[in-house]
């Protein structure tokens, strides 16, 4: 594996899949006894995945103006 001039490396696909690393997943690096480890951060990524399946599912047929009036309480 080669490091780019920007210090980037590509995490192999099988490792990304095994660890559940997707775009925007945050990871940490730490060094111990001369070795560098990459670990997936715990936190927001689980919540984001929970709502990802609902993206684009809305079925309400309202115009933007109607939605804004509804949320603002306009009459």
- What is the rounded distance in angstroms from the CA atom of residue 67 to the CA atom of residue 11? 43
pLDDT of residue 74: 66
DSSP-H helix ranges across 1-75: 13-19, 44-52, 64-72
User: What are the tens digits of pLDDT across the range 13-44?
Assistant: 999 999 888 888 889 999 999 999 999 888 65
Residue 49 has pLDDT above 70, yes or no: no
């Amino acid at each position: 594996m080669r490091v780019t001039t920007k210090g980037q490396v590509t995490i192999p696909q099988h490792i990304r899949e095994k660890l559940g690393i997707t775009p925007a997943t945050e990871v940490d690096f730490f060094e111990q006894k001369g070795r560098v480890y990459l670990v997936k951060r715990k936190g927001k990524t689980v919540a984001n995945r929970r709502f990802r399946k609902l993206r684009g599912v809305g079925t309400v047929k309202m115009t933007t103006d109607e939605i804004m009036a509804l949320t603002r309480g306009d009459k």
